[in-house]
């Protein structure tokens, strides 16, 4: 009976309620400081992952550069350094041309300057030997023209080779770029970040286009350690030198700057790049008939005339006999 009276005593009930209120107040005040900071830990994990990607990308780039430097011709390097050809044949746009052609590192520049200095001499000597031994019947101005033309061809041959290499590389990239945008759209809409989407799509698109996979890998690395993400997209557009990639880079930059959905921008850009690829195919198809005109005249028409006129000539020869 004493316990029942104690429990039903108003003062006891008031004390219990007051103690509960005090405990709840203390817990409410102390809970934020005692709770685990999940957001901070997640941000730390993201920063740690970005740092790992940055170190890995830098290590791979340094490894590739060191391999290229070891594989470079030591004779060419010593000749270029001894004659100071980098200053004598300086070209401000050479680094950009080499990047567009897929050639990176100091060794590529060294070999370019070496060939630009050596090919005119080699072509000139070959032309001179030809006019001295095999072209003795030619007139003097033709001999001089052949030698000068060979020297000029040797001088401009490295630039033409780089331009052709860059065009072929851009064509290979753009053949797989619309499909890669569709895969990026799927990755982004599934919840991936743009870095993980580029990394994933680069791995999937590698069998179809090694060049595009390489560009996506470089962009992923630059997104990890460049101070502004805009620079990574601009570098991608500059390396590929194609209006479709430039439009995608601008759309991604604006999406991150103004907070617009990246998936919507990728969907629009994928459609535009598919239209560009279709327009390019239609352009090639439209230019095919004029290109076939000369081969048809040279190879098909003589055979056609022989088939049509041959029997008539045989009959005429028989009648004249």
Tell me: the pLDDT tens digits for 232-281? 888 888 888 888 888 888 888 888 888 878 888 888 888 888 888 888 88
Q: What is the mean pLDDT of the chain?
A: 79
Q: CA–CA separation, 230 vs 250, rounded Å?
A: 9
pLDDT tens, residue by residue, 7-57: 666 777 777 777 777 777 777 776 666 555 554 555 566 566 666 766 776
Question: Which of these three, 130, 156, 171, is where a domain ends?
Answer: 171
**What's the pLDDT at 67?**
46
Higher pLDDT, 54 or 221: 221
Q: pTM higher than 0.75, yes or no?
A: no
- Structure-block tokens of residue 228: 């502004």
pLDDT band at 76 (very low <50, low <70, confident <90, very high): low
* Claim to verify: residue 162 and residue 251 sit in the same structural domain: no
pLDDT band at 107 (very low <50, low <70, confident <90, very high): confident
- pLDDT (mean) for 52-70: 59
**Is residue 69 over pLDDT 70?**
no
Count of structural domains within the chain? 2
pLDDT tens, residue by residue, 82-105: 666 666 666 667 788 888 888 877
**Is residue 220 over pLDDT 50?**
yes
CA-based nearest residue to 99, from 218, 262, 233, 270: 218
**Is residue 109 over pLDDT 70?**
yes
**What's the pLDDT at 77?**
67
Q: Judge whether 66 lies within some domain.
A: no
Q: Percent of the chain beyond pLDDT 70? A: 77
Higher pLDDT, 109 or 52: 109
* Claim to verify: residue 188 and residue 201 sit in the same structural domain: yes
Domain that holds residue 164: 73-171
* Claim to verify: residue 150 and residue 90 sit in the same structural domain: yes
pLDDT band at 71 (very low <50, low <70, confident <90, very high): very low
**Is residue 106 over pLDDT 60?**
yes
* Claim to verify: residue 85 and residue 166 sit in the same structural domain: yes
Q: With contact defined as beta carbons under 8 Å apart, do 131 and 147 qualify?
A: yes
Q: Judge whether 7 lies within some domain.
A: no
* Claim to verify: residue 81 and residue 166 sit in the same structural domain: yes
pLDDT band at 4 (very low <50, low <70, confident <90, very high): low
Q: With contact defined as beta carbons under 8 Å apart, do 116 and 158 qualify?
A: yes
Between the alpha carbon of residue 93 and those of residues 89, 159, 162, 225, 289, the distances in Å are 12, 11, 12, 25, 37
Q: Judge whether 207 lies within some domain.
A: yes
Q: CA–CA separation, 159 vs 85, rounded Å?
A: 16
**What's the pLDDT at 155?**
86
Question: Which of these three, 171, 195, 228, is where a domain ends?
Answer: 171
- Estimate to the nearest angstrom the gap between the alpha carbon of 124 and the chain centroid: 37
């Amino acid at each position: 009976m004493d316990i029942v009276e104690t429990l039903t005593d108003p003062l006891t009930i008031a004390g219990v309620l007051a103690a509960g209120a005090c405990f709840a107040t203390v817990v409410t005040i102390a809970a934020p400081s005692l709770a685990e900071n999940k957001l901070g830990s997640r941000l730390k994990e993201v920063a740690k992952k970005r740092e790992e990607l940055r170190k890995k990308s830098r290590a791979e780039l340094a490894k590739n550069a060191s391999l290229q430097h070891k594989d470079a011709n030591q004779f060419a390097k010593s000749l270029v350094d001894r004659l100071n050809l980098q200053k004598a044949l300086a070209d401000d746009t050479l680094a950009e041309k080499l990047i567009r052609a897929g050639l990176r590192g100091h060794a590529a520049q060294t070999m370019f300057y070496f060939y630009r200095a050596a090919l005119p001499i080699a072509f000139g000597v070959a032309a001179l030997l030809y006019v001295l031994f095999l072209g003795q019947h030619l007139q003097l101005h033709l001999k001089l023209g052949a030698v000068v033309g060979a020297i000029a061809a040797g001088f401009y041959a490295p630039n033409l080779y780089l331009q052709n290499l860059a065009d072929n590389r851009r064509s290979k990239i753009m053949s797989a770029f619309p499909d890669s945008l569709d895969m990026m759209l799927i990755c982004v809409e599934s919840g991936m970040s743009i870095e993980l989407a580029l990394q994933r799509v680069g791995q999937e698109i590698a069998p179809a286009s090694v060049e595009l996979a390489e560009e996506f890998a470089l962009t992923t690395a630059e997104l990890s350690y460049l101070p502004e993400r805009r620079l990574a997209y601009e570098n991608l557009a500059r390396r590929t030198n194609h209006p479709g990639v430039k439009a995608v880079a601008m759309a991604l930059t604006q999406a991150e700057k103004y907070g617009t959905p990246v998936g919507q921008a990728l969907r629009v850009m994928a459609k535009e790049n598919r239209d560009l690829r279709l327009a390019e195919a239609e352009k090639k198809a439209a230019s095919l008939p004029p290109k076939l005109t000369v081969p048809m005249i040279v190879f098909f028409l003589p055979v056609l005339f022989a088939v049509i006129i041959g029997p008539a000539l045989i009959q005429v020869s028989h009648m004249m006999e």
